[in-house]
Amino acid sequence: MDIFELVKLIEKRPGMYIESQSSTELDYFLRGFMAASQINDNDSTATDIYYEFNKWVCGKLSISANVSWRRAVAFQEPNEYFAFKTFFELWNEWLDKRQTL
């Protein structure tokens, strides 16, 4: 499974993967997936993709600091639930733009 498939599964049924619809829990879960991919498969692809997404989010939200998507979104949406929902909106927009390049 790659990070694209995982995010799609979480978006469809978040309760199967994380306890609450929280941007913090989602970020930590995805970071755990990346760490496991690196340790078990010696594959940094998920990490590279995740950091590419983080960089894109900061640019889209006009944040000059190099922060995670979660922190970038929190500047505009401090509510964990709405930040969780915003992640999927941003992820899908980023995927659309990424596929057209």
Per-domain residue ranges for the chain? 3-10+18-100
pTM over 0.85: yes
pLDDT for residue 77 = 85
pLDDT in tens, 57-77: 999 999 988 899 999 999 888
Query: Please, what is the average pLDDT of the chain?
Result: 93
CA distance 27 to 23: 6
pLDDT at 43 over 90: no
Comparing CA positions, the residue from 4, 2, 100, 95 lying closest to residue 56 is: 95
